[in-house]
Each structure stands twice: as structure tokens, then as C-alpha cells.
């Protein structure tokens, strides 16, 4: 997706007027002052507040004792909720008004394209911690990185599990009417056709509705044996609950984005019985993970995928800043060569900024999470 010409040239004019953000050292006039290293976080809307919570835990950990060493990390969070193009304006403000070192993004692929355009012009690192749109890396912008597996990588795992391991041939793919859902569906269809398998029946639900009966009836009529769902965690929850209430027990296959407890207290593993997800990491099945316990203690609820990827993304940024010797001009190069062992698994990048590997699959069985063996 390309940014609109009006918005792009507005950003271009702004960068020409303001210029590239000044170096960190130039902003410090006193040797005795503590250096503030600002990191921007762009979230989609209020449903993504758990990304801020995950990032704040990472910032807090990094700042324990850091002031005595002459620096402190500061998180600046901005919501992209609003009219189309708001995300681009927020990115411009963070870079040229707030002088952030880098931007972490927890939002959809549509907004990620806008942020990528701004950060490419300003040569500021943009690390995506949610958007799985594989076209984000096709522009080969060296300042773009993603710490989540993209839709093509996830589709590879699902196609192998559905067609090769489980031998399911009658498949339906259901998507809601979101940008990310449409992209995930297209990637799954591409991988299915490439593997020589029969293309699934394509169905769409309106995520503004509470009743998906029309689509469910079509699944029944076609005698579907396996369902792939592409959509938000809210629409996935509604869909799975409705088919299970009708005693439809077909396995449902979803991306990691469908498994997020940010949907609220109504999230219960038992509601996802016989649902297979692309794994967001072992933190969900390992109760000894410190992040999970700290999040629960601080916010009185378990974290979801949104919080986990933001936590890993922020930790990776902080580590890269330290490893660059606090030289922001070296940050992109250091991050491109990083290998970080996070709660979502090992994160390392290919030459286009994609996360190299997906983590495998997990399944809800008897109300508990179970890792699926490769």
C-alpha cells in the first residue's frame, strides 16, 4: 500500500524544514545531566494498551540502576486512533518534535505502511511488533524491522499442518473485513496453491455483527472438515464460540493475532477447544516466565500476544542501543545483526528486516495449551 501523495509530500516538506533529528550528544549540554533516550511507541487504539504495558515493563527493567550510569530510557506512547493518516502525523511528531531514537509499532499493516514511509525518509529505525503484512519488507527499507512472523511464514506452518499432517482436504477460510485479515487470507491462498493443494472455500464475516450464522450455514452445507480463521481476536472469539455452541467440532486454525487476552476477561482457554494457533512463544505454556508473572502482578490479568511482542520488541531496541555505544547513527546496523532470545522465541532478521523464523503451533486441548510437535 502506498501513502497518499498529499500526505507523503506533507511529510517530505516537514522533513526538509526540520531536518534529520539531531544527535543525542548534541542535545546534552551538561556532562553531569542524565541522558534521556526517548523511544516512541505507536499503538492502534485503546484495544492495544497492553502493548504499552508490555513496553513499560521492559523500560522499567532497563532503567533499574541506569540513571547512575548516566542515562535513562523514556517511553512516549501515541495512539493512531482517528481519521486515515493520523498514524503518519503521530510518527512525524515523535520523530521531529519529540526527537525519539526509534519507533516501536503495535498496529495493523495499513498504518505500518504509513509509518514506514515516514521513518524511511527520516532514517529512523521502525520495529514492528504486531503487523504481519509481508509487503512491508518488499520496499527493502533498511530502517524497517519486524519481530513477528509474517503472514507467509504463518501460512507455511498452517498449510503443512492442515494438508500434510492432518490430511484435511475440505477446508474453508474465513476472514473478517479488516485489512490484516484480508492480507492473511491472500497469503494462505497463495501458499495453498503453491503447494498444489485444493484451494479452500473463501468466506467473509462482518466483524461489526454478533451473529455469523450465514457463514456457519455455508460451512455446514459444504461439509467442511477444517476451518482457517483470519481476523481479530474479538471476531475469532465470537466465531469459535458460535460454532462450538452448535456442536461443530472441526479444528479451527488461526494466526497468533487471534490469541490475545487483550480482548478482556471473557477470554477463556476453554472457549478455544480444538483451536490451533501459530505460537507467539513459550511464555503462554511456561508459568515460570518472569514477564508473565510480573504482568499478572502489576495489571491483575495475564498478558496476551500484543503485550508479549511489545515487551520483546522494546527489549531488543534497548539492547541494540546499548550495543551501539549509545550512538544513534549505528543503531540500524547493530539491530540488523542482532540475535535476541526473547519470550516469543529467538529473534533475528533477514536482509529485508523480516523475522527469520516462526515458532510452530500450539493447540487448546481440554482447556489447556499444548505444543504441537513438528
Domain ranges within the chain, ordered by starting residue: 5-149+291-348, 151-281+359-371
pLDDT of residue 189: 96
Residue 183 in contact with residue 133, Cβ under 8 Å?
Answer: yes
How far apart are alpha carbons 104 and 11 in whole angstroms? Answer: 19
Same fold, 5-149+291-348 and 151-281+359-371: yes
Q: Is pLDDT of 271 > 80?
A: no
Pick from 354, 332, 343: nearest CA to 120: 332
In angstroms, how far is CA 22 from the centroid of its own chain? Answer: 29
Higher-pLDDT residue of 271 and 241 is: 241
Strands 252-254 and 275-278: parallel
Within 10 angstroms of residue 232's Cβ, the number of other Cβ atoms is 19
Q: What is the pTM of this model?
A: 0.89
- 313 pLDDT band (50/70/90 cuts)? very high
Q: For residue 24, which phi and psi values (nearest 5 degrees)?
A: -60, -45
pLDDT of residue 67: 65
Mean pLDDT of 318-331: 94
Mean pLDDT of 90-94: 96
How far apart are alpha carbons 189 and 175 in whole angstroms? Answer: 12
How far apart are alpha carbons 147 and 316 in whole angstroms? Answer: 9
Tallying the residues shown for the chain, one arrives at 374
C-alpha angle with apex 322: 137 to 343, nearest 5 degrees?
60
- 369 pLDDT band (50/70/90 cuts)? confident
**What is the rounded radius of gyration, in angstroms, for the C-alpha atoms of the chain?**
21
Average pLDDT over the chain, rounded to an integer: 87
pLDDT of residue 29: 41
Higher-pLDDT residue of 123 and 70 is: 123
pLDDT of residue 139: 86
Residue 127 in contact with residue 317, Cβ under 8 Å?
Answer: yes
- The architecture that CATH gives domain 5-149+291-348 is 3-Layer(aba) Sandwich (3.40)
How far apart are alpha carbons 226 and 160 in whole angstroms? Answer: 13
Within 10 angstroms of residue 179's Cβ, the number of other Cβ atoms is 16
pLDDT of residue 68: 59
pLDDT of residue 21: 47
Residue 90 in contact with residue 107, Cβ under 8 Å?
Answer: no
C-alpha cell of residue 206: 462482518
C-alpha cell of residue 271: 472457549
In CATH, the number for domain 151-281+359-371 is 3.40.50.2300
List the single range of 143-147, 156-160, 266-270 with lowest mean pLDDT: 266-270
Residues 6+ apart with CB under 8 A from 177: 204, 205, 206, 207, 208
Pick from 283, 284, 286, 285: nearest CA to 315: 283
What is the percent of the chain with per-residue pLDDT over 90, rounded to a whole number?
Answer: 66
pLDDT of residue 33: 65
Q: Is pLDDT of 13 > 50?
A: no
Q: Is pLDDT of 350 > 80?
A: yes
- 258 pLDDT band (50/70/90 cuts)? confident
pLDDT, one tens digit per residue, over 93-136 is 999 999 999 999 999 999 999 999 999 999 999 999 999 999 99
C-alpha cell of residue 328: 544513534
pLDDT of residue 287: 66
Mean pLDDT of 221-235: 93
List the single range of 212-216, 247-251, 283-287 with lowest mean pLDDT: 283-287
Higher-pLDDT residue of 281 and 59 is: 59
Q: Is pLDDT of 32 > 60?
A: no
C-alpha cell of residue 180: 490484516
Q: Is pLDDT of 28 > 50?
A: no
pLDDT of residue 348: 96
Mean pLDDT of 195-211: 89
Pick from 114, 126, 76: nearest CA to 97: 76
C-alpha cell of residue 346: 529467538
Mean pLDDT of 46-58: 95
How far apart are alpha carbons 4 and 107 in whole angstroms? Answer: 19
How far apart are alpha carbons 190 and 214 in whole angstroms? Answer: 26
Q: Is pLDDT of 263 > 50?
A: no
Mean pLDDT of 271-287: 83
Amino acid at each position: 500500500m502506498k501513502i497518499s501523495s498529499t500526505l507523503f509530500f506533507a511529510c517530505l516538506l516537514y522533513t526538509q524544514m526540520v531536518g534529520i533529528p539531531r544527535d543525542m550528544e548534541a542535545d546534552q549540554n551538561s556532562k553531569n545531566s542524565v541522558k534521556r533516550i526517548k523511544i516512541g511507541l505507536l499503538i492502534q487504539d485503546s484495544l492495544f494498551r497492553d502493548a504499552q504495558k508490555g513496553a513499560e515493563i521492559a523500560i522499567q527493567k532497563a532503567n533499574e540502576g541506569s540513571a547512575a550510569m548516566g542515562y535513562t530510557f523514556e517511553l512516549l506512547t501515541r495512539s493512531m486512533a482517528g481519521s486515515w493518516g493520523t498514524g503518519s502525523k503521530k510518527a512525524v511528531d515523535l520523530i521531529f518534535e519529540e526527537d525519539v531514537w526509534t519507533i516501536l509499532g503495535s498496529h495493523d499493516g495499513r498504518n505500518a505502511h504509513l509509518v514506514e514511509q515516514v521513518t524511511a525518509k527520516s532514517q529512523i529505525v521502525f520495529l514492528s511488533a504486531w503487523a504481519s503484512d509481508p509487503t512491508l519488507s518488499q520496499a527493502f527499507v533498511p530502517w524497517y524491522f519486524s519481530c513477528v512472523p509474517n503472514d507467509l511464514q504463518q501460512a507455511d506452518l498452517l498449510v503443512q499442518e492442515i494438508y500434510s499432517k492432518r490430511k484435511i482436504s475440505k477446508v474453508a477460510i474465513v476472514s473478517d473485513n479488516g485489512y490484516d485479515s484480508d492480507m492473511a487470507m491472500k497469503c494462505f491462498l497463495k501458499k495453498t496453491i503453491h503447494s498444489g493443494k485444493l484451494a479452500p472455500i473463501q468466506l467473509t464475516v462482518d466483524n461489526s455483527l454478533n451473529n455469523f450464522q450465514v457463514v456457519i450455514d455455508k460451512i455446514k452445507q459444504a461439509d467442511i472438515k477444517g476451518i482457517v480463521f483470519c481476523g481479530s481476536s474479538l471476531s475469532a472469539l465470537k466465531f469459535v464460540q458460535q460454532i462450538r455452541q452448535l456442536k461443530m467440532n472441526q479444528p479451527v486454525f488461526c494466526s497468533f493475532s487471534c490469541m490475545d487476552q487483550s480482548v478482556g476477561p471473557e477470554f477463556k482457554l476453554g472457549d478455544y477447544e480444538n483451536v490451533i494457533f501459530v505460537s507467539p512463544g513459550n511464555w503462554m505454556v511456561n508459568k515460570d516466565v518472569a514477564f508473565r508473572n510480573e504482568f499478572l502482578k502489576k495489571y491483575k490479568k495475564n498478558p496476551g500476544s500484543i503485550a508479549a511482542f511489545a515487551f520483546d520488541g522494546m527489549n531488543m531496541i534497548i539492547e541494540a542501543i546499548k550495543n551501539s555505544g549509545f550512538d544513534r547513527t549505528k543503531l540500524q546496523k547493530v539491530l540488523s545483526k542482532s540475535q535476541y532470545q526473547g519470550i516469543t522465541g529467538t529473534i533475528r532478521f533477514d536482509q529485508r528486516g523480516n523475522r527469520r523464523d516462526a515458532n510452530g503451533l500450539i493447540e487448546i486441548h481440554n482447556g489447556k495449551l499444548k505444543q504441537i510437535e513438528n
